[in-house]
Structure 1
Amino acid sequence: MRTRQVLGCKALLVLLALTLVVAGCSRMNLAYRNLHLLIPWSLADYLDLDRDQQRRFRAQLREHLDWHCRTQLPGYLVDIEQLQTQVRRGALDERTLRADYEKARRAIHAIATEITPTLTQLLAGLDETQVRELDEALEEDRRENRDEYLKPPLDQQIRERAERMSERVEQWLGSVSPAQRQRILTWSHALGAQNRPWLENRAHWQQRLSEALADRHGAGFEQRITQLLQAPETLWSADYRAAFGRAEQLTLDLVRELYKLSDAGQRQHFVGQLEDLRKDLGSLECLPEPN
Structure 2
Amino acid sequence: MTHPWRKKTRLWLAGLACLLLVGCSTRVIYYWLDVAIVWQLDDYFSLSSSQKKLLDNEVKGLMSWHRQQELPRYAKDLDALAKAVASPMTPAQVSRHLAATQQSLTRTLANTIPRAVRLARTLTDAQVNTFMRDRLARQQEREDDFAKDPKEKVLRESTEKMNKRLVFWIGEVKPAQAPLVACWVEWQYEMMPPWIEYQRVWIGELDQLLRERASPDFEQRLTKLLAQGDGLMDGRFTGYTEQSRQRTVNWLSELSQSLDIKQRAHLYSLLKGYVGDFEKMTRGQ
Question: TM above 0.5, one fold?
Answer: yes
Q: How far did residue 200 of structure 1 move? A: 1.4
Q: How far did residue 93 of structure 1 move? A: 0.8
Give the RMSD, CA atoms, in angstroms: 2.3
Among 235, 238, 241, the alignment partner of 1:241 is: 238
Q: Distance in 2 between matches of 1:215 and 1:286?
A: 41
Is it true that 1:277 corresponds to 2:249 in the alignment?
no
Q: Which residue of 1 aligns with 2:119?
A: 122
Judge which range, 262-271 or 184-193, deviates more.
184-193
Question: Is the 8 Å Cα contact of residues 172 and 270 (structure 1) preserved in structure 2?
Answer: yes
Among 180, 185, 194, the alignment partner of 1:183 is: 180
Task: Please tell me the residue identity of whatever aligns with 2:66.
Answer: H
Question: Is the 8 Å Cα contact of residues 45 and 130 (structure 2) preserved in structure 1?
Answer: yes
Is it true that 1:106 corresponds to 2:103 in the alignment?
yes
Question: Is the 8 Å Cα contact of residues 15 and 39 (structure 1) preserved in structure 2?
Answer: yes
Q: Secondary structure at the match of 1:283?
A: helix
1:254–1:81: structure 2 CA closer, same or farther, 3 Å change rule? same
Q: How far did residue 222 of structure 1 move? A: 2.1
Q: Distance in 1 between matches of 2:77 and 2:66?
A: 15
Is it true that 1:144 corresponds to 2:121 in the alignment?
no
Is it true that 1:250 corresponds to 2:247 in the alignment?
yes
Q: Distance in 2 between matches of 1:106 and 1:162?
A: 30
Cα-to-partner distance string for 1:214-254 (whole Å, 9 max, x where unaligned):
12222332222121223223326544222222222222222
Q: Provide the aligned length of Structure 1 versus Structure 2.
A: 281
Alignment of structure 1 residues 6-21 onto 2, 5 Å = 12-21=9-18
Q: Distance in 2 between matches of 1:41 and 1:286?
A: 26
Is it true that 1:213 corresponds to 2:210 in the alignment?
yes
Question: TM-score, with normalisation over the residues of structure 2?
Answer: 0.90
Higher relative contact order (CA 8 A, sep 6+): 2
Q: Secondary structure at the match of 1:193?
A: helix
Q: Distance in 2 between matches of 1:265 and 1:236?
A: 47
Q: Which residue of 1 aligns with 2:55?
A: 57
Question: TM-score, with normalisation over the residues of structure 1?
Answer: 0.88
Q: Which residue of 2 aligns with 1:41?
A: 39
Q: How far did residue 91 of structure 1 move? A: 4.4
Q: What percent identity do the matched residue pairs reach?
A: 23
**Unpaired runs of 5+ in structure 2?**
none
